[in-house]
Amino acid sequence: MCRKVNKRLDAINRQYPNPTYDQAARIWTLGHRVSVRFFRQIKALDVPMEDMRGFERYLTLTRQLLVLQVRMIRALRAHDDDEITRLSGLIDSIRNQRTRVTSQMGLTVCGG
């Protein structure tokens, strides 16, 4: 499931190698839609009890990313470079945390 979503997001990102603000907002909007669908699918999974704590943490971090994606889209549309930089740092940090969580669960594809 993660591999499929990652490929889809990569394809979206390749649409504009050097995007303008408007193109970047479009990329983030498309990516957000894919991420929301993925979140709904992954939330419905049956998870073994021993992985439940990590899975719940993964879901929490993913929810935070979904919120930050919406904020990033707004910042791109407003051409707000300071907010874009701030959000980029937050997103990178949360992605790193999510990668650690999935790594601890033994997953190699889901994460970042």
pLDDT classification of 112: cutoffs 50, 70, 90: low
pLDDT in tens, 14-46: 887 889 999 999 999 999 999 899 899 888 988
pTM recorded for the entire structure: 0.84
Domain ranges of the chain: 2-104
Q: How far is CA 26 from the centre of its chain?
A: 15
Higher pLDDT, 73 or 43: 73
Under 8 Å between Cβ of 57 and 42: no
pLDDT classification of 48: cutoffs 50, 70, 90: confident
